[in-house]
Structure 1
Amino acid sequence: MQKVILIGRPNVGKSSLFNRLARERIAITSDVSGTTRDTNKTEIEIFDRSCILIDSGGLDESNELFKNVQAKTLEEARNSDIILFMVDGKMMPQDEDKRILYSLMKLDKPIALIINKVDNEKDELRSFEFNEFGIQDMFLISVSHNTGIEDLLKFIYPHLKDELKPDEEETLDDFLENLSEDGEFKDNEDYENKPIEVGIIGRVNVGKSSLLNALVKEKRSVVSSIAGTTIDPVNESYIYEDRVFEFVDTAGIRKRGRIEGIERFALNRTEKVLEKSDITLLVLDSSEPLTELDERIAGLADKFKLGIIIVLNKWENKTEQDYKEACKEIRDKFKFLSYAPIITVSALMGKRVHKIYSLILEVYNNYTKKIQTSKLNEFIKEVTITHPIPHDKGKLVKIYYAVQFGVAPPKIALIMNRPKTLHFSYKRYLINKIREKFNLEGTPIVVIPKNRGKDEEEK
């Protein structure tokens, strides 16, 4: 498992960020410089990917003890995969920080400069002085106010696992070499007539089985107040507007420490269901606060790149204000599913369940949508003029053209001169703009920067 290390001089907030990312108080924090001397390690999840997070001792050579701590910290950095170098945003840039950062950059690993304690506008203005460090990936955060953390996680995420698997890389290369004469993507799959596979997922006892029964209009799943009633996936077909929906009610998922016996098989079966699904209904219990487990389950939909609809169940006697607050909480917690529509239902009472059918069709159409190449390129040209691609160390980064090479979900290749330098934040900007322009609500969009030729050097 890959290792992510927090490194920096004493009292910059490494242990506080460690606790924040671990979501529990593991490391001792205090205002006393050098509180952390040994390294703390814990496994964390960033969206749907796991890694080992390391909180290191502060880099300080003021006495023999701290010199030993520093030596151990630097050794841990050499053995880590991703380095997060933290500085104190309340202070002006220090020459010592610059020296340490440059030495870490020589390790040739993904590295980010984290400016902590940026609590107000004055701090933010001061932080711009750190531009002199010349590092591309720089993040302003405040651990105490929990701001800027999301962008940091999105920096780490793509480094934890290659975005393209070998077989996907081969598929992309084959496609680009065999474009049709009009430059359009063609797929032999009959998406307009095949059954739409819909997996129903969520924590135990959120009402998934009741929802399935309401959707197929019969008591197909056993329903009870006992958590974990459903173990085997339950399949049922339903026809709506001449389209066949294949619903699958999966077993409710518990916290890892509470998964016992046969439920371990149920969890594995849930993942196998999602591997075959097109759309997932993420069921949440509106009568309870969202939990970390809800976030983890939501990550499964992201992991398998499925179309997704968030279903707020048990929505009885709620107000418009309740709806606004619930949506805000969901958007705050599930930022990586910002594209997912939210619908409120009462599966037990059968209220608004019928609206899910048309929503599934809409999301599925977006999930399998083919974008005309000429329109895609006109739009890419337009948005890159409005918001130019940042240069890479003074060198121009440009997109020659864009082409869709897959659906379910839509997959778009950006043929570029320097694909490895396209920052994740700019890619996110392009994805958001593409979704808005071509109406791709409810579906993830895969955007892959690619050299014009397999062996072409970046210029």
Structure 2
Amino acid sequence: MDKVYGSIAIIGRPNAGKSSLFNRFCKERIAITSEIAGTTRDVKKAKILLQDLPFLLLDTGGLDDKDTLFECVWRHAHKAGENADLILYLVDGKTPPAQEDKEIFYTLEKKNPNIFLVINKIDNDKEKQNAWEFMEFGVKNVFYISVAHNQGIAELERAIIKALRNTTMESLLNTKDEDCLEDLLEEEGDFEEEIKNTEEVINIGIIGRVNVGKSSLLNALLKEERSVVSNVAGTTIDPVDEIGEINGQKVKFVDTAGIRRRGKIEGLEKFALNRTRTILERTDIAILVLDASKPFVELDEKIAGLIDEFKLGVIVVLNKWDIAHKDFKGIMEDFKLRFKFLEYAPILTLSAKNGRHIQKLEEEILRVYANFSFRIPTARLNAVIKEATMRHPLPSENGKIVKIYYATQFKSKPPQIALIMNRPNSLHFSYKRYLVNFLRECFDFSGTRVIFIARGKNDFEEQESLRT
């Protein structure tokens, strides 16, 4: 994580407006918001700027009754509050103060005394007068805001900056570390430069249907309980993203919401499905999680189709291998029947629950990304294409010769190659498939598609001149 002045956790009971405040600070709709209690379940993180200063913002799940699912939500939210530099405890100002809010507030205050009481949904002066009842909390730092109407937000921002600047400075002065103090003073000026020089990050989307173990896999990769896991289908609603590292390489994992059969998608899951598609638009590699404890279903194939649609690198994970319903040979036969279009994908058997083969998966991520972003030198590419056409000449069209003049890779992620030809419309898809397979024999393109596009000489040169 890049340097920040401090971390801010937004905590409160359901429907107080936590995710709306999170989105307001982020200046974009990152968290899903709705009137349905329990919309946010995992802790969402975002780096934000408040008056040009960088902070880490945490949106936590609503603190509701501790049932099977929300016991995890409670634990995550409380942990976020304890570890944060500042807590914004949000309440609904349109309802009288609740005893439960007081109990939660005082519990958090004992763990972390740096806490603000933020009263939301105060849209006018009359409502502000009614909200004076919240003074019975006995809190010094009280703020009246309306996220929906952007009222009181600027004042809250100023108070956050003042509180965190003071806290950070006191902490540094107590350490008597002159180097740390210099870092803090230089941090503001360096922040924009840091963003410009951000190192490459591999974006990885974890996809699959509900209850295949995507959140457990994310937790295993991060080696911490980052995502809420339960037996309740559809536990993950908002995509959960987290920066990690594999052998010094930064990676960003996104645990997407589980996808159901269209007829069973209800309520919030419609938002989740749309958000999953948005996430995949900026993903490099998809980890397709399949449940090895049960037979594959048609929905698994449809979800796998998103990999082709978004032109992603791919790794297939057969999760829950410790309770697999067939032996490896039997499951692979089923896989090849259903997923012929993923014949280039590496397949790993693992158990996210007990950590089996997680290290192999990490190694495979780096390998697939290298293939996904690989560029073939033009001279080497043309030598390979020439050899391929000599071994298996291009079929003629109605007695007319079909030629490839030369080839050039014009794009990576995934590798895309233009074949400059005299008759581009005569290149049959079966010959393209032959060229792809031939190229795979010469280069390690495991886990990534290779796309050939036939172009006429004049058309391609015209396009290139427009690009330059």
Which residue number in structure 1 is paired with residue 39 of structure 2?
A: none
Q: Output the CA distance in 2 between the equivalents of 1:193 and 1:363.
A: 19
Change (3 A) 1:399 1:358: same
1:285 aligns with 2:274: no
1:438 aligns with 2:443: yes
Over the aligned positions, Cα root-mean-square deviation in angstroms equals 1.9
Q: Output the CA distance in 2 between the equivalents of 1:362 and 1:381.
A: 27
Q: Could you tell me how far 1:310 is from its partner in structure 2? A: 0.2
Q: Output the CA distance in 1 between the equivalents of 2:197 and 2:292.
A: 34
Equivalent position amino acid for 2:320 in 1: K
Q: Output the CA distance in 1 between the equivalents of 2:432 and 2:257.
A: 35
1:297 aligns with 2:303: yes
2:312–2:414 contact (8 Å) kept in structure 1: yes
Q: Output the CA distance in 2 between the equivalents of 1:263 and 1:455.
A: 44
Equivalent position amino acid for 2:230 in 1: S
Q: Output the CA distance in 1 between the equivalents of 2:252 and 2:407.
A: 34
Show CA shifts across 1:169-194 (max 9, x none): xxxxxxxxxxxxxxxxxxxxx99940
**Quick one: which of 355, 358, 361 aligns to 1:353?**
358
Which residue number in structure 2 is paired with residue 313 of structure 1?
A: 319
Equivalent positions of 1:26-41 (< 5 A) are: none
**Quick one: which of 327, 331, 336 aligns to 2:336?**
331
> Which structure carries more helix by proportion?
2
Equivalent positions of 1:348-427 (< 5 A) are: 348-427=353-432
Change (3 A) 1:380 1:330: same
Q: Output the CA distance in 2 between the equivalents of 1:193 and 1:415.
A: 35
1:191–1:368 contact (8 Å) kept in structure 2: no
Change (3 A) 1:282 1:455: closer
2:294–2:324 contact (8 Å) kept in structure 1: no
**Quick one: which of 274, 284, 288 aligns to 2:280?**
274
2:292–2:324 contact (8 Å) kept in structure 1: no
Q: Output the CA distance in 2 between the equivalents of 1:266 and 1:432.
A: 37
Equivalent position amino acid for 2:334 in 1: E
Which residue number in structure 2 is paired with residue 199 of structure 1?
A: 205
**Quick one: which of 201, 205, 214 aligns to 1:208?**
214
Equivalent position amino acid for 2:269 in 1: E
Which residue number in structure 2 is paired with residue 255 of structure 1?
A: 261
SS at structure 2 position matched to 1:229: coil
Change (3 A) 1:433 1:356: same
Equivalent positions of 1:181-196 (< 5 A) are: 193-196=199-202
Q: Which runs of 4+ in 1 moved over 2 A?
A: 190-193
Q: Could you tell me how far 1:394 is from its partner in structure 2? A: 1.3
Q: Could you tell me how far 1:436 is from its partner in structure 2? A: 2.2
Q: Output the CA distance in 2 between the equivalents of 1:369 and 1:210.
A: 31
**Quick one: which of 217, 220, 234 aligns to 1:228?**
234
Show CA shifts across 1:101-127 (max 9, x none): xxxxxxxxxxxxxxxxxxxxxxxxxxx
Q: Output the CA distance in 2 between the equivalents of 1:252 and 1:317.
A: 21
1:302–1:337 contact (8 Å) kept in structure 2: no
1:231–1:266 contact (8 Å) kept in structure 2: yes
Equivalent position amino acid for 1:196 in 2: I
CA radius of gyration, larger in: 2
SS at structure 2 position matched to 1:206: coil
Equivalent positions of 1:53-68 (< 5 A) are: none
Which residue number in structure 2 is paired with residue 451 of structure 1?
A: 456
SS at structure 1 position matched to 2:322: coil
Show CA shifts across 1:400-452 (max 9, x none): 11110011000100000111111111111111111221111100111100000
Q: Could you tell me how far 1:455 is from its partner in structure 2? A: 8.9
Q: How many residues align?
A: 266
Structure 2: which 5+ residue stretches go unaligned? Answer: 1-195, 462-468
Change (3 A) 1:278 1:192: farther
Show CA shifts across 1:262-293 (max 9, x none): 11110010011110100010000001111110
